[in-house]
Amino acid sequence: MFNLVLFEPEIPANTGNIGRTCVVTGTRLHLIGPLGFSLDERALRRAGLGYWKNLDVAAYRGWDDFVARNGLAARGSEPRLHLLTKKARRTYAEATYRDGDFLVLGKESSGLPEELLARYAESCERIPMLPDEASLANRAVWAQHNDQLAGEKGSGANGASDTATAEGAQAHAPLRRQDICGNFIDPEEYRISALNLSNAAAVVLYEALRQASFPNM
């Protein structure tokens, strides 16, 4: 069985889609807090996650809690970790997956923290994607749209510039602005053509399952 790990997930729909994929593949889901949503029964029912009771899922207070409860404290310990990040040199397809491995994905707004990437540098992998200029003909339109949104958030009730509001919008821009794919955008380093969290999880999980000879693959 593989383990899919979400580090501080923020969007319940993404976690719901990933949970559904875990159910049909027999994968265990690990949720590392703090979470951006509630897991109580009422919230799950409202989100239409009727399959949640069939999901093998565990929740953790934080990374250290996750590491301790899964026996991953020692370096080089098995099962191994695969940290998915756009900052890795090796691709996910170049990795070797074994039963029991942990596939780790970061939060929607900012990915995995630099501290974890540095600690597990040899375990970092990425999903290859074309750059914006090669994949989207309307990239300039989306860039302009994002600039307009930032301008609107920086205006006061009477149309005058509200400095405090503008500064707040800029500080929280990665959390507030989403692109055509539903991903959060950092305007200082924006990338439009990117997979959302549930897509990325499925891509990597199915490669791991393929290597492990999942039935009917």
Angle at which helices 163-171 and 139-153 pack, to 10 degrees?
140
Q: pLDDT tens, 62-99? A: 999 999 999 987 665 556 999 999 888 889 999 999 99
Residue 115 has pLDDT above 80, yes or no: yes
8 Å CB contact between 174 and 186: yes
The secondary structure element, H or E, covering residue 147 is helix 139-153
- What pLDDT is stored for residue 148 in this prediction? 67
The β-bridge relationship of strands 124-125 and 57-60 is: unpaired
DSSP-derived secondary structure letter, 80: P
The residue ranges of every structural domain in the chain are: 3-129+195-211, 130-194
Give just the sign of the alpha carbon dihedral 59, 119, 207, 214.
Answer: negative
Secondary structure of 42-77 as H, E, C letters: HHHHHCCCCCHHHCCEEEECCHHHHHHHCCCCCCCC
Distance CA 217, CA 204 (A): 14
Domain boundaries 3-129+195-211, CATH class = alpha beta
Q: Name the residue among 185, 193, 209, 173 with its Cα closest to residue 99.
A: 209
Higher pLDDT, 211 or 76: 211
Residue 169 has pLDDT above 50, yes or no: no
Distance CA 67, CA 87 (A): 22
Higher pLDDT, 128 or 40: 128
Q: What is the band of 48 on the pLDDT scale with cuts at 50, 70, 90?
A: low
Q: Name the residue among 44, 193, 67, 41 with its Cα closest to residue 131.
A: 193
Higher pLDDT, 196 or 119: 119
- What pLDDT is stored for residue 180 in this prediction? 47
Q: What is the band of 37 on the pLDDT scale with cuts at 50, 70, 90?
A: confident
- What pLDDT is stored for residue 73 in this prediction? 78
